[in-house]
Amino acid sequence: MSTAGDERPAAEGAVAAGNGNAELANNVGAEGQEPQQQQPQNQPTRMESFFAMTKSLILRALIIYFVSSFFRKPQTNAGEDKSVANAGPKITAWNYFENGTDFDLHVWLSEEPDVVNFQQKANLLWLQEDLTYGDWSSGPTKDGIYSHNLQIKASQHLMNNGSVYLHAFVTRSGESPDPKSPNYARSGHMGHQQHQLNKFKKLRVNRNYNLLASEKEKLEHELKHANLKDQIVSHWHPNLTVNLVVDQTNWAQGSVPPPLDEYVKFVDGGKTYLPILFVNDYWNLQREYLPINQTTPELELHLTFQPLGMFKWQLYAAKQMKNKWAGNMLGDIMAAGAVEETDEDQDSLKETLLDTNIYLLGITVAVSILHSVFELLAFKNDIQFWNNRKSLEGLSVRSVFFAVFQSLIILLYVLDNETNFMIRISCFVGLGIEVWKIHKVVDINYNHDQKILGVFPRISFNDKGSYSESSTKEYDRLAFKYLGWACFPLLVCYFIYSLIYNEHKGWYSFVLNMLYSYLLTFGFILMTPQLFINYKMKSVAHMPWRMMTYKFLNTFIDDIFAFVIKMPTMYRLGCFRDDIIFFVFLYQRWQYRVDLKRVNEFGFSGEMEEQAAAGASGAKSLPLEGQADANGAAIEAAVPTIKKTAAQKKQD
């Protein structure tokens, strides 16, 4: 086997960039003046990111499936292929390459996505001859894999954000993809796939500064970043894999499911389909891409040829299909909110798949599904609890308003930072649920006579009777009073620390970052007022135990992964903060068990029911003639006499 062009740099003219992309950032990279990227923030470990992302992907997949079916555009392609496919009974096609067919691999470089200059031999990057279709045991490592390394000279166009394309061809042995060659492939039958080698990424300028800086320092910072803008820069990755799908499926023209239909090309009236080539860059990590500029006159390229099975090809093709979301309205919305953070998430997923034990990976996926199910059940039971609640005795109303404030801060924080569209939606829904709870815990009055700004009615809140007439209101006030004594000094200390040592975009971002970080660290304080109320009332009968059970299961799952996943010690200890609260709740449930003296929302207690039952059983032992009197006495003893007012008697 011969490998023409081994270790040979391509000519500079072969990589001249397309002019259509040159105007993106012509001055990027000159004299090494590149915009500064944002400072990296503390990121969770790979397994943490994979665990959290797996849960979100499960919910996202369901949403995408249902919404995509609603927004899917009807196919109106009325070309020849459709007419041929629908003209009669479907014809099953055969693969042009049968197993055992000898073929050659041709890899060319071009500045055009659809045109290859075969006359310029320097454009030929790799020629691998005498390959066999369906051979999985050839090559240097006896696994059917071949590799080729070379250096490409970057032209001025490419260094100024131009584009360069790779064209891969597979022909029968001895044939050529050049139409002007005497050995041109018979009837032009050959496999072909093109791929853009460079990738455009946005470099963001770090505009954060210390808010306590002097006016001179602020002016210097503004002058330094005055001419810097977020720019789109061409990037390069040195690794690329060319896959040849080894499969003999008898496809029928017009019946190939998407996205596979883009790669299966039919000839001879639908009786044959050409070999399927797939250019794969899925395992290229985003952080490994390097910007192309004046400091990169030569670019390294490692090409790999590898046969690929049908199942893996379907997975890779489905992964690339996500880019087509930009073709509908939902895709535009989602793409607007997910740019750079998606690359980091994808890197975490890829590294986890590569480095994690397969059994641990399977357990992680299974537990993530359970985690999502428990979250949905807790969400459902929380709404059901508040929707059916008649009395607020024993429940912390102030915690509901604090939860609204916490959800509002989280929503404003994710809106101020570039976060995923799905995260924004989940935060918005969470805030809506917390706001909905307000009308369940207080009476809301709208005064249309006294309007704010002459348009909006004045809103006032009044405590419900079951809350204000019991001791719950006083216990709730005391709980937040003691909580404030402990939390406000910590908040002030963190305020001073963040103001002195951290940089921020402005005062608004500083306040949001400070409050968000504080609430994230001390999020468990939201449940402490309820512990205090339970302690003072010596009862837990009013608690939503079903919802709390699901949350405790989720916390238990987080605790397990805190031991399994490699993470900082302080972060690992933070996973157990909620456990302390839950175990205190469990202790209170054991300590206060069933409170028979507590009056429910209907005005009865367990002692009344026991007394009524005891009176009824004692009446059975009396003589028949005195049974009625005994029953009446038992009922009078069990049920306390309620004095009615004159107005109530008149109403009766």
User: How far is CA 652 from each of CA 476, 639, 646, 648, rounded to the nearest angstrom?
Assistant: 38, 19, 10, 6
591: which 2 tokens?
């300590």
The predicted structure's pLDDT at residue 340: 43
Strands laid side by side in the 191-196 sheet:
3-4, 124-132, 102-110, 165-172, 191-196
Residue with tokens 């976060």: 419
- pLDDT grade for 450, boundaries at 50, 70 and 90: confident
pLDDT of 385 > 80? The answer is: yes
What is the overall mean pLDDT for the chain?
75
- Rounded Cα–Cα distance for residues 110 and 14 (Å): 6
Give pTM, 2 decimals.
Answer: 0.60
- Burial label, 607 (beta-carbon count in 10 A; 0-12, 13-18, 19+): middle
Residue 26 has pLDDT above 70, yes or no: no
pLDDT at position 343 = 61
Tens of pLDDT, residue by residue over 221-230, are: 666 666 667 7
Task: List all residues 6 or more positions away from 324 whose beta carbon is below 8 Å from its beta carbon.
Answer: 259, 331
Average pLDDT over residues 280-301: 89
State yes or no: pLDDT of 496 exceeds 80. Answer: yes
Q: Which residue has the higher pLDDT, 605 or 634?
A: 605
Q: Taking the CB of residue 356, how many other CB atoms lie within 10 A of it?
A: 16
Q: Which two tokens stand for residue 182?
A: 């005497």
Tokens of 106: 């041709």
pLDDT at residue 461, rounded to an integer = 83
10 Å Cβ neighbour count for 537? 19
Task: Give the HSE-up count for residue 433: Cα atoms under 13 Å, Cβ half-sphere.
Answer: 18
In angstroms and rounded to an integer, the radius of gyration of the C-alpha atoms of the chain is 35
How far, in Å, are 69, 71, 254, 324 from residue 78 at the CA level?
22, 21, 12, 21
Average the pLDDT over 107-134 and give the result: 92
Higher-scoring residue by pLDDT: 67, 484: 484
How do residues 123-180 score in pLDDT, each as one tens digit?
A: 999 999 999 999 999 999 999 999 999 999 888 888 888 899 999 999 999 999 999 9
Cβ-proximal residues to 65 (8 Å cutoff; 6+ apart), any chain: none
251, with CB counted inside 10 A (0-12, 13-18, 19+), is buried
| pLDDT for residue 28 is more than 60 | no
The percentage of the chain sitting over the pLDDT mark of 90, rounded to a whole number, equals 21
Range among 207-221, 507-521, 628-642 rated most confident: 507-521
Range with the lowest mean pLDDT among 319-328, 358-367, 434-443?
Answer: 319-328
Omega before 640 cis (within 30°)? no
| Beta-carbon count within 10 A of 621 CB | 8
* DSSP-assigned letter for residue 19: G
pLDDT digits (tens, 9 = 90+) for 570-619: 555 656 667 777 888 888 888 887 656 665 545 566 667 677 777 766 55
Alpha-helical (H) ranges within 593-645 are 606-619, 627-638
- At 272, the amino acid letter reads T
For residue 129, the surrounding DSSP H or E stretch is strand 124-132
Residue-wise pLDDT tens digits, 401-427: 888 998 899 889 888 876 667 678 878
Which pLDDT score, from 0 to 100, does residue 29 have? 42
Query: Which region, left, alpha or beta, applies to residue 31 given φ > 0 means left and ψ of -120 to 50 means alpha?
Result: left
640 half-sphere exposure, CB direction, 13 A CA radius = 9
Contacts of 104 (CB under 8 A, 6+ apart): 127, 128, 129, 130, 131, 170, 171, 172, 173, 174, 175
Tell me the three-class secondary structure of 255-315, residue by residue.
CCCCCHHHCCCEEHHHCEECCCEEEECCCCCHHHCEECCCCCCEEEEEEEEEEECHHHHHH
Q: Is residue 197 pLDDT above 90, yes or no? A: yes
Between 380 and 152, the higher pLDDT residue: 152
Give 306: exposed, middle or buried? Use CB within 10 Å, 0-12, 13-18, 19+: middle
- The per-residue pLDDT for 191 is 95
3 state SS of 412: helix
Given pLDDT bands bounded at 50, 70 and 90, which one contains residue 330? very low
pLDDT > 70 fraction of the chain, expressed in percent and rounded = 67
Q: Write down the pLDDT at residue 628.
A: 42
Mean pLDDT of 442-465: 82
pLDDT of residue 5: 42
Beta strand 456-463 with 442-452: parallel, antiparallel or unpaired? antiparallel
Q: Which of 39-53, 199-213, 283-297, 327-341 has the highest mean pLDDT?
A: 283-297
Q: Look at 108-122, 176-190, 430-444, 624-638 and tell me which has the smallest mean pLDDT.
A: 624-638
Distance, in Å, from the CA atom of 41 to the CA atom of 102, rounded to the nearest integer, reads: 52
pLDDT given at position 252: 92
Confidence (pLDDT) at 96:
95
Q: How far apart are CA 208 and CA 650, in angstroms?
A: 73
Is pLDDT at 329 greater than 50 in this prediction? no
